[in-house]
Structure 1
Amino acid sequence: MDWLGAMNKAVEYIEDNINDKLDIEKVSKIALSSPFHFQRMYHIMTGVTIAEYIRRRRLTLAAQDIISGEKIIDVAFKYGYETPEAFTKAFGKLHGISPSAAKEPGAKLKAYPRLSFQISIKGDKKMDYTIIEKESFSVMGKKTKITMVDGQNFSLVPKFWDECMKDGTYQWACSNAGKLGIMGICLDFVKDTEEFYYMIGVENNCEELPKGYVSATIPKATWAVFEAVGPLPEAAQDVTRKIFAEWFPSTGYQHDCAPELEVYPEGDYNSPDYRCEIWIPIKK
């Protein structure tokens, strides 16, 4: 499929240019996506950020070069480290030993394999969805930076919700909610980082925003809407993973360049019967 082939071509480009500085815009174009959504898609499907994948692959190849007899200082510069000390620290974090120890006979090293994307046909649960066309609209709320390093986003987003429930933001959102209700919104990545902005908000109905609140525009888009049933955040996170790992590869759709929405009706978020929606912008 085009989507699957595009993701594999993006990985192939990365591997062919593994020693060079990553041009995320070029890679995302190969993957038929925007930089934001390529990085988010990659992370959800693999469990690591694109930057972490490159780090692990470089250090895997660096170990092979050291074993073959190349000087450690040359290998360090080859794979983009400014100093041998920085290289030694990164090498030890992945392999558990120093670069010089890697030269010793019988040294145990870790190999992080080249990644490829394939369709996984499980057939255990169907994925019902609805296609919705929606005009551009404005949202307002509070936002924060979320890092994806080491999967921290899966704990930081729920923590942000907890903070907003304690500081009155959630109550403010409930009193100002429109037709869509309360939303969690994945906005743009912070350029050249592994961070993105996440907003808790509602449709904008204020002429003047309260202090500490911001607004953003959600562009006109076509959305695939999926229902998640169960306690949060696990239910929403599980459905999101399935969308990227199973639904996209098995359909003719691609991710479009718009934020992703999590739509949360009022209710008991811990209930096994709680229902929310995941809105994913799509295009053919």
Structure 2
Amino acid sequence: MEDNYIIQNALNIIDNRITEGITPQELAKECGYSTFHFSRLFSRATRITLMAYVTRRKLQYALYDVSCGEKIIDIAVKYGFETHAGFTKAFKKCFGYPPSLYRIHAICSRPTRMELTELISIILGGNIVYPEIVEMKPFIAVGFTSRHKMPNVRFTHDIPLYWETINLAHVDNLTRLHNAFSKSRHCEVTVCFDINPLTSEFTYLLGVGVDNPEDLSRIKPDMYKMKMAGGLYAKFTTPLVESSKHTQNVRDTWKNIFDNWLPASVYKFDEKRYDFEYYDERDHSWENNGMAQMDIYIPIQKR
């Protein structure tokens, strides 16, 4: 119990000094131990090395700053990383994806005090929802694109609301797409791509899957055709919920992917391919007794 108290005190010190340069020697001294003994005590109690935890914790605080739209270079300096590239490399190594991806897809709250029991649960994977790992064939998505700049649109799920403010009739667009490609399997695909981390700009595609050769001949000049690469994906299916909770359900799933699954996974995000949201008849709450669900596909590769 005394060891747990000492480790909890160290966790509190790290949080209180999160933007400072924290060394093993300083932490050990404040806890009344030699550096060697304290480092062993910390690793045994938490299943992670002391400085690996310090770096991870700094990056967890940085996640919040990323989601708030702060510039990556400013965040890097704030938490003691010498360069933009150094911060991004550490971020990818820790979480398995680049900072710009989190900014678009997930909402992050400011970290609360880390409890030792919570840390052990995280390290052991207690908070993780696991996906289905699938091998996908390439497919074609056709739709309409719009260019956005955060923070006007900070997250994928903000975009339909944003469209209303600029009078883009996305419902009419979907109707037009489904009518044009009626021989293809009914599904909708949304993709964020062409992300500029320096200007916070990105392109958003709202489209449908087109798998019928005859339908491909019906693509109009004002439509955007995107070839979605095949390969290994992590497929996250959101829990089946009432339609009123569906949007929050999607948000929570994105957050779980970035906060819990990817950082602990043997996989990392494959930046050569795009993640996407996939909607089919399961999303039609009016046909499913008011219930809805969808899939999120994350392109992955071994770390």
Q: TM-score, normalised by structure 2?
A: 0.55
Q: Equivalent residue for 1:273?
A: 291
Q: Does the aligned pair in 2 maintain the 1:140–1:202 contact within 8 Å?
A: yes
Greater share of residues in helix: 2
Distance in 1 between residues matched to 2:76 and 2:297, nearest whole Å: 35
Q: Equivalent residue for 2:261?
A: 247
Return the match for 1:136 from 138, 162, 169. Answer: 138
Q: Equivalent residue for 1:262?
A: 277
The two structures, once aligned, show a CA RMSD in angstroms of 4.5
Mapping of residues 1-284 of structure 1, within 5 Å: 17=77, 27-32=87-92, 37-41=98-102, 47=108, 121=121, 127-149=129-151, 152-153=154-155, 156-159=158-161, 163-166=168-171, 168-175=172-179, 176=181, 178-179=184-185, 181-190=187-196, 192-204=198-210, 205-207=215-217, 209-228=219-238, 229-230=240-241, 231=243, 232-257=246-271, 258-266=273-281, 267-269=283-285, 273-284=291-302
Q: Does the aligned pair in 1 maintain the 2:276–2:296 contact within 8 Å?
A: yes
Distance in 2 between residues matched to 1:281 and 1:8, nearest whole Å: 26
Unaligned runs of 5+ in 2: 1-47, 63-71
Does the residue aligned with 1:149 lie in a helix, a strand or coil?
A: coil
Q: Aligned partner of 1:224: which letter?
A: A
Unaligned runs of 5+ in 1: 49-111
User: How many angstroms does 1:183 deviate by?
Assistant: 1.0
Residues 151-160 or 274-283, more deviating:
151-160
Distance in 2 between residues matched to 1:199 and 1:13, nearest whole Å: 28
Distance 1:264 1:16, change over 3 A: closer
Does the residue aligned with 2:263 lie in a helix, a strand or coil?
A: coil
Q: Does the aligned pair in 1 maintain the 2:107–2:251 contact within 8 Å?
A: no
User: How many angstroms does 1:119 deviate by?
Assistant: 6.1
Q: Does the aligned pair in 2 maintain the 1:180–1:263 contact within 8 Å?
A: no
- Per-residue Cα deviation, 1:221-271 (whole angstroms, up to 9, x for no partner): 311101113333222111111111111122212111221111111343587
Q: Does the aligned pair in 1 maintain the 2:156–2:192 contact within 8 Å?
A: no
Identity of aligned residues (%): 17
Q: Aligned partner of 1:187: which letter?
A: F
Q: Equivalent residue for 1:101?
A: none
Q: Aligned partner of 1:183: which letter?
A: V
Distance in 2 between residues matched to 1:143 and 1:24, nearest whole Å: 30
Q: Aligned partner of 1:280: which letter?
A: I
- Per-residue Cα deviation, 1:152-180 (whole angstroms, up to 9, x for no partner): 335532326764444x2111233426447
Q: Give aligned pairs, total.
A: 217
Q: TM-score, normalised by structure 1?
A: 0.58
- Per-residue Cα deviation, 1:84-105 (whole angstroms, up to 9, x for no partner): xxxxxxxxxxxxxxxxxxxxxx
Q: Equivalent residue for 1:98?
A: none
